[in-house]
Structure 1
Amino acid sequence: MIKNLGAQLARHPVIMAIYGIDQLKTALSSRAHVCIIANIDLIKLHPVITLLGKADKYVIVNIDSCNGLSQDKGGIDYIAESGAMGLLSTRLQTVQRAKKSGLVTMQKIFVTDRSTWLRSLHALEQSEPDYVQLMPAPMLPLLSRNDRQRLPPIVASGFVGNEEQIRTALAHGATAISSSDSALWNVALSR
């Protein structure tokens, strides 16, 4: 398996957003190699990461939504030791801790207006994540080129429902898109 997230996304820029365990079977046979797992209880987290790892999937854990998983150093170390490659969070301090633990970091930001955009930029400047998950994806074309260049590599997410919307996000500067729609996980894209 390619351990470099950028190389994985260059091969296939669609990230599987897996909520719970219902989509695991589909994820294991998917063309996509990168997944963000969320809404998985702590007791099931390690077995899910192991299963996905055996299928050569690059696993990123959304720490904000896994029940029983603390966002302190112990929780982050648990994710790192479980075989996950990365961590996703909205929280600045969590992203900073994850970077120190050697995980690839992705910070989620929600852009609803200019004021949330400016607060998000400030948080990203402090946390310095490896990637940013920008929500909702339709906001991406509304950002100026200068604004997009201030961001780390962008993963567009939310309201991506078809191949055209994937292509639009990629054309407007996204490195990848993430989607929970399993029909999009196998979309063949050539760049």
Structure 2
Amino acid sequence: MNLKESLVENPVIAAISSDEDLEKVLYSNAAIVFILYGDIINISKVCARLKEKGKIVFIHIDLIEGLRGDSAGVKYIKEYANPDGIISTKASNIKCGNHLGLYTIQRIFIIDSLSLKTGIKNIRETKPTAVEVMPGIATKIISFLEKEVNSFIIAGGLIKEKKDVMDSLAAGALAISTTEKKLWEL
């Protein structure tokens, strides 16, 4: 699988945070899914159900209950859940995921110029496959970041309308992630 091609062909990523969302996304047009919930007991089943439907699966490992946010946790997720990749805000998890051959998405929250500067520094050091910029409606930041780092940009957070999707993509994001179910069908 070539992640960049998959993102270009499927720019709306379903971000699921409940079993109800899981049931809906299984039969949606969304080809890429971010799992934002679960625990060490059920995460492999959630991932397996998505993979059975041919979905490309990323697990936000910082949000999995009972899992420590360290290299053992990343190894556990790879071995027992077998996703295509991981999402994390932690540089150490991104480095570990890269080492294990997983696609990695570093999630960064941009709230001011210092967090932007720190985010760019971390991205250059960890070399994630992609970067998820939050909030995703910050098109000026997306445009700037897209020129500064050598990773794909995914916009996430507060994306509620089709216009938000179009604005983020126009600013340089390769894809967007959203919990807004109506956008999963775009």
TM-score bucket (shorter structure): over 0.9
1:159 to 2:178 alignment: no
Identity %: 29
After TM superposition, give the deviation of residue 146 of structure 1 in Å: 5.0
CA distance in structure 2 between the aligned counterparts of 1:156 and 1:145, rounded to whole angstroms = 11
1:72 to 2:70 alignment: yes
Q: What is the aligned partner in structure 1 of residue 39 from structure 2?
A: 41
Identify the match of residue 150 of structure 1 among 130, 145, 148: 148
TM-score by length of 1: 0.92
Mapping for residues 1-191 of structure 1, pairs under 5 Å:
3-81=1-79, 82-139=81-138, 141-143=139-141, 145=143, 147-151=145-149, 152-187=151-186
Which letter does structure 1 place at the counterpart of 2:68?
S
Which letter does structure 1 place at the counterpart of 2:141?
L
Distance 1:162 1:109, change over 3 A: same
CA distance in structure 1 between the aligned counterparts of 2:48 and 2:37, rounded to whole angstroms = 16
- Asked if structure 2 preserves the Cα contact closer than 8 Å seen for 1:109 and 1:134, the reply is yes
CA distance in structure 1 between the aligned counterparts of 2:8 and 2:143, rounded to whole angstroms = 21
Q: What is the aligned-residue RMSD (CA, Å)?
A: 1.3
- Asked if structure 1 preserves the Cα contact closer than 8 Å seen for 2:70 and 2:92, the reply is no
CA distance in structure 2 between the aligned counterparts of 1:84 and 1:147, rounded to whole angstroms = 27
After TM superposition, give the deviation of residue 71 of structure 1 in Å: 2.5
Residue range with higher mean Cα deviation, 53-62 or 77-86? 77-86
Distance 1:113 1:67, change over 3 A: same
After TM superposition, give the deviation of residue 144 of structure 1 in Å: 7.8
Distance 1:146 1:109, change over 3 A: closer
Q: Which runs of 5+ in 1 are unaligned?
A: none
3-state SS of 2:176 partner:
strand
CA distance in structure 2 between the aligned counterparts of 1:114 and 1:98, rounded to whole angstroms = 28
After TM superposition, give the deviation of residue 59 of structure 1 in Å: 0.5
- Asked if structure 1 preserves the Cα contact closer than 8 Å seen for 2:106 and 2:131, the reply is yes
Distance 1:83 1:147, change over 3 A: closer
- Asked if structure 2 preserves the Cα contact closer than 8 Å seen for 1:105 and 1:129, the reply is yes
After superposition, give the CA deviation of every residue in 1:71-99 in whole Å (9 maximum; x if it has no partner).
23322122222220100000001100010
TM-score by length of 2: 0.94
Distance 1:98 1:185, change over 3 A: same
